[in-house]
Amino acid sequence: MYMNAVLFLLVACAHATLGTEKCSTSATSTTPGCICLQEVVGGLKNPLAMLQPDDGTKRFFIVEQIGLIRVTDSSGRLLNEPFLNITSKVLTSDAFGDERGLLGAVLDPQFKQNGRFYVYYSSRQGAGNVGGGHRSVLARLQVSSDKNQADASSERVLLEIAQPGDRNNGGQLLFGADGYLYVSVGDGGAGPHTAGNTSSLLGKILRINVTGADSSGLPYSIPPDNPFVGQARPEVFAYGFKNPWRCSVDKGDKQGVGRGRVFCGDVGNSSYEEISIVRKGGNHGWPDREGHTCQDPSGCDDDHVPPIHVYSHDEGIAVIGGPVYRGCGIPSLTGKYLYADFTGHGKLFYLRELSNRSWTNAALCVGDNSVCKTSQQQAWGPGNFILGFGLDVSGEAYLLTMNPSVSAGKVFKIVDPNSPVSAAPVLQMSVLLLLTMLLIMKNFI
């Protein structure tokens, strides 16, 4: 009887420590120290997005451009069978820099209960010649009875967008703090410039309600406060983008400041890269402006939403937007916006917001092996082309990379070389180890 009581208390303690770790410190410096990059998953093919369900499984879903969503187990090992395989539907190629493919995915906010998720891909069906126009497809799917297998037959197409070319297709899917689905769409890279025309879906951030169909028969409805309700394309939330490739939603600080802001890295044309906070109903400038430069004086006016940061093609070639860091692991990064560039130089950057709501830019130090003291760090350096960022459920940040010289994609976790071992996991391990020993002892009593 005494042994059973001890076992009960230990189990209760073990459960009590799970998921209770919170940030014990806040940002203490405006200038972060060096970070380290710990390889957590390898053997991937152009990983573009990483998702973690908040269901206690500690799994990751990793989107590969070729049309697969891979899944890891709770220890981070990549399972042999993909979560989803739609390669037969996805239009892409092995050419370096091909911008078509399975470009984005997001889990439903109620994924734990309903098993729904959403994908955005370039469709083979109805596509023209390779290198020409095609359709971008937004679709909803369902998990099968096996939690690590999606039901590919459950696909329901929500929206199709005719693309005039093979690049600048966007592809970021996000659920905002308002519960609506945000979709980033590029200008298509060919044909007439329609990013500034709200009657077209190209060059836009869309916002839709996926919880039910509308009265006209669409498989989604329009949020009543969308800025262009009653017009030709009421899905439009903001316009004037070239290629909003990777975007993110800010979770906000402890007081909720910043919560719900949508940040986008907008890949430029020939001169500049931009990072913007998306403004409802706002014209973000393209094609009249690129960066802060007016390209068409007849269209440049004071109503354009200025980007929070611009850099020239002397410094990079294609911005890779990231998240506002709200994790616990690196307190000096808290509240800073992370981003990179698709140059293969392996450099990272951050933006820091000032009291006047302007932003300053700085390089983020990536430590070498003398700083990081981890064998995984040796895998980082020039040749790692950054494709995107990911977040886990606790807000820690990851990099999604590819290396064309070895045809290998990897996921790296951004970590602090000086962070102590968390007390909560140590306590969990100690309790579980003691629990195991007592269970063994019980068999002999």
| Beta pairing, strands 116-123 & 134-143 | antiparallel
Interatomic CA distance for residues 99 and 65, integer angstroms: 9
CB 124 within 8 A of CB 140: no
Locate 261 and state its tokens: 């802001």
Which residue segments constitute the domains of the chain, with CATH numbers given? Answer: 38-422 (2.120.10.30)
Q: Output the average pLDDT for the chain.
A: 87
User: What pLDDT score was predicted for residue 127?
Assistant: 53
User: What pLDDT score was predicted for residue 129?
Assistant: 46
Partnered with residue 396 across adjacent β-strands are none
CB 336 within 8 A of CB 35: no
Interatomic CA distance for residues 61 and 79, integer angstroms: 10
Does residue 153 carry a pLDDT above 50?
yes
Give CA 384 to chain center in angstroms: 18
- Range in 120-129, 146-155, 361-370 with the lowest mean pLDDT: 120-129
Largest Cα–Cα distance in the chain?
A: 88
Phi first, then psi, for residue 207 (nearest 5°) are -140, 120
User: What pLDDT score was predicted for residue 2?
Assistant: 40
C-alpha pair distances (Å), 339 with each of 119, 163, 293, 307, 425: 23, 27, 22, 14, 30
User: What pLDDT score was predicted for residue 301?
Assistant: 78
CB 320 within 8 A of CB 246: yes
User: What pLDDT score was predicted for residue 417?
Assistant: 86
Query: Tokens 């042999």 label which residue?
Result: 80
pLDDT tens for each residue of 284-329: 999 999 999 998 888 887 789 999 999 999 999 999 999 999 999 9
The burial class, CB within 10 Å (0-12 / 13-18 / 19+), for 407 is: exposed
User: What pLDDT score was predicted for residue 376?
Assistant: 53
Contacts of 112 (CB under 8 A, 6+ apart): 53, 54, 55
User: What pLDDT score was predicted for residue 191?
Assistant: 83
The residue ranking higher by pLDDT, 33 or 339, is 339
User: What pLDDT score was predicted for residue 308?
Assistant: 98
Q: What percent of the chain has pLDDT over 90?
A: 70
∠ CA 258-113-64, nearest 5°, is 70
Q: What is the DSSP string of 104-171?
A: EEEE-TTHHHH-EEEEEEEESTT--STTS-EEEEEEEEEE-SSTT-EEEEEEEEEEEEEESSSS----
- The model's pTM is 0.88
pLDDT tens for each residue of 31-72: 788 999 999 999 999 999 999 999 999 999 999 999 999 999
C-alpha pair distances (Å), 19 with each of 22, 250, 325, 434: 9, 21, 19, 20
